[in-house]
Amino acid sequence: MGLVTAQTFMTHDDEWDDGDSEDGVFAKDEPIRRRGQHRVRGDSPRRGGDEQYEDADGSLSDDLDSHDLPDQSQVDHGRDDRTRGREKFRRQIIVEAARLMYRRHEKEYYRAKLKAARAVCGGWVKPSDLPSNAEIRDEIQRMACLFEGEGRHERLRDMRVEALRLMRLLSDFKPKIIGSTLTGHVRHGSDIDLHVFTTSIDSVSITLDQEGIIHDIEHKRVTKAGEERVYTHIHIQDRFPIELTVYSTDKIAYAFKSSITGKAIERATLAEFEQLLRAEYPDIELDAEVLDAESKLDRFQVYRSLLLPLDKVGQSKKHHPEGDALYHSLQVFELARYELPYDEEFLLAALLHDVGKGIDPDDHVAAALEALEGAITPRTAWLIEHHMHAHQVIDGSIGFRANKRLRESLDYEELMLLQKCDRDGRQCGMPVMEVDEALDFLRELSRSNG
C-alpha cells in the first residue's frame, strides 16, 4: 500500500468575500461622489431655502453650485472610462490566472484568481470585477493550443487509452471518468481523473498492488460553506498522473457539480467511455491499444526500481565515508539541483550515475547505461558514461586524446560540474530528499519543460 498522508484545506471555490468595504483596487477609477448624486426637492429643507442632494447611498448633501454639477455627457464619459478600466484589469487577471494554472503554479481556480488579482492590481479587488472559472478555463485552452499545437491531440488519445485500461482494471468499483481527459481539454501536466465507488478503500489499494501499480493514499479535509468534509484520493504516478477519488457506493448516482459551470459535471461510465472512444477514433483497435499501453513503462518507475536497491550497496569508507550508494546518489542530486535546478538531463545524470553499482559493481557505468537504455536522453547517457573520465581529468590520469575528445563536447562544462557534485556528495549527515521526493521533483520539472 502507498503512503498515507493527511492535509487540511480551507476552500470556498468561487465564494469570494462580499463584505461592506468599498475600498477596492479600482477606487481610483471611480467618478467623484457628485456624479452619483441627483437632486431632491423637499418641502422642508434642512437649512433655510437651500436645496439638497441625495447621494447614491441615500445620504443627503448640501446644495452645490451649478458649476460643480457635471452634465449628462460627462457622467456617461466617466462611466465609460470606468467600465473600460475594469474590463482591462479583468482581462489581465484572466490571462495571469490562466498562466499560473497552465504552468502548474496553482491548481485551484480560487487561488489562481486571488494571486493574479494581487499581481495585476497590487491589492484587493471587488468580487464583481473578478473573472469566472469558465473564462480562465477558456484562456488556458487558448494557451494550450498556442504552445502545444497538434501534439495535444496525440497526447489526449494516449491519455484516454490509459484511462480506459485503468477503468477496466477497476471495473469492480464502477469507475466513472471526469475532467479534461473526458472533455478533451488537456494540456501539458493534465491528469486522468476517475471516481471509484467502494465500501473499502483497502480493496482498491489491494487491486492496484496486485498489478504492481505504485500509489499514495491521501485524506484531504475540506471546509466549505462552514461544513467540513473528508475526501479520499489515490494518486498514481505513471506515464500520466492519475487521481482516483474514492466515494461510498451510495454516491454512484449522485450528481456532483462543477466549480466552473455550477452544473452537474460530465461523467462517463466504462461502457459510455468505450462508446465515446470508438466514435472518436474509428481507425484504431481499442483492445490492441490497451495492450500496447500496458507494455509501455513509465520511465520514472524504471529509475525508482534501479535506485532503491542502492541502499544495500556498501562502498569503500576511504572514498565514500558517507555510506551506501543510494545516500551518495541523493547527495549528488541535491548538489546538482543547487547548481542547475532547471536542467532535467543534468539532474537525471546526477541521480542515476551510480545505479549500475546495484547490478555490476565491477563495471557500473556500462551496467547503468544498459539498464537505462531507452529511458534517458543521449545527453544524460553521455554524462553518465564519462563521469569517471571527468575524475581522471582532475587527477591528471586521463590520456591526451581522450581529454581532447571530452573538451570538444558542448556538454564538457556540465560534465565537470557533475564531477564536482560527485566528489562533494560524500558527506556524513547531509540532509537529502527521499527517492520518491527526488523523482516527484523531476516529474514536475519534466511537465514544466513540456
For 278-310, how does the pLDDT look when each residue is reduced to its tens digit (9 = 90+)? 999 998 898 898 888 877 778 888 999 899 999
pLDDT of residue 344: 95
Percent of the chain exceeding pLDDT 90 equals: 43
Same domain, residue pair 325 and 237: no
Q: Is residue 398 part of a domain?
A: yes
Same domain, residue pair 197 and 289: yes
pLDDT of residue 25: 33
The neighbouring-strand residues paired with 178 are 193
What does the pLDDT average to over 114-139?
Answer: 80
Per-residue pLDDT tens for 254-268? Answer: 988 876 667 888 999
Same domain, residue pair 246 and 317: no
Distance CA 178, CA 223 (A): 23
> Residue 160: which pLDDT band, with cuts at 50, 70 and 90?
very high
Q: Is residue 68 part of a domain?
A: yes
Q: Is residue 381 part of a domain?
A: yes
Same domain, residue pair 249 and 163: yes
Same domain, residue pair 57 and 164: no
> Residue 4: which pLDDT band, with cuts at 50, 70 and 90?
very low
pLDDT higher than threshold 60 for residue 49: no
Distance CA 363, CA 374 (A): 20
Distance CA 27, CA 82 (A): 10
User: What is the tally of structural domains in the chain?
Assistant: 3
Q: Is residue 311 part of a domain?
A: yes
Last residue of a domain, one of 261, 295, 329: 295
> Residue 178: which pLDDT band, with cuts at 50, 70 and 90?
very high
Same domain, residue pair 445 and 308: yes
pLDDT of residue 37: 37
Last residue of a domain, one of 277, 295, 313: 295
Last residue of a domain, one of 264, 295, 326: 295
Q: Which domain holds residue 322?
A: 300-449
pLDDT higher than threshold 70 for residue 387: yes
Same domain, residue pair 241 and 352: no
Q: Is residue 9 part of a domain?
A: no
Instruction: Work out the number of other CB atoms within 10 angstroms of the CB of residue 60.
Output: 13
Same domain, residue pair 361 and 430: yes
| Full-model pTM | 0.53
Per-residue pLDDT tens for 63-99? Answer: 434 344 455 555 455 556 666 767 787 888 888 888 8
Q: Which amino acid is at 315?
A: Q
Percent of the chain exceeding pLDDT 70 equals: 78
pLDDT of residue 147: 66
**Least confidently predicted of 312-316, 362-366, 425-429, 433-437:** 312-316
Same domain, residue pair 323 and 430: yes
Which CATH number belongs to the domain containing residue 246 in this structure? Answer: 3.30.460
Q: Is residue 142 part of a domain?
A: no
What does the pLDDT average to over 413-428?
Answer: 94
pLDDT of residue 242: 92
Which CATH number belongs to the domain containing residue 341 in this structure? Answer: 1.10.3210.10
Per-residue pLDDT tens for 56-65? Answer: 333 333 343 4
**Least confidently predicted of 95-109, 281-295, 390-404:** 95-109
Question: Which grid cell sits at 93?
Answer: 487577471
pLDDT of residue 450: 61
> Residue 413: which pLDDT band, with cuts at 50, 70 and 90?
very high
Same domain, residue pair 263 and 329: no
Per-residue pLDDT tens for 195-210? Answer: 999 999 999 999 998 8
Q: Are 113 and 97 in contact (CB under 8 A)?
A: yes
Helical axes 400-408 vs 412-424, angle rounded to 10°: 110
The torsion of the CA quartet 60, 61, 63, 65, rounded to 10 degrees, works out to -140
pLDDT of residue 7: 42
**Least confidently predicted of 32-41, 68-77, 178-187, 340-349:** 32-41
pLDDT of residue 41: 35
pLDDT of residue 152: 73
Same domain, residue pair 246 and 284: yes
pLDDT higher than threshold 50 for residue 359: yes
In angstroms, the Cα distances linking 30 to 49, 55, 91, 131, 266 are 31, 14, 19, 20, 41
pLDDT higher than threshold 60 for residue 39: no
pLDDT of residue 276: 94
Per-residue pLDDT tens for 195-248? Answer: 999 999 999 999 998 887 888 899 988 877 778 888 899 998 888 889 999 999
> Residue 100: which pLDDT band, with cuts at 50, 70 and 90?
confident
Q: Is residue 147 part of a domain?
A: no
Q: Is residue 140 part of a domain?
A: no
pLDDT higher than threshold 80 for residue 393: yes
Same domain, residue pair 249 and 234: yes
To the nearest whole number, what is the mean pLDDT of the chain?
A: 79
pLDDT higher than threshold 80 for residue 51: no
Instruction: Work out the number of other CB atoms within 10 angstroms of the CB of residue 191.
Output: 18
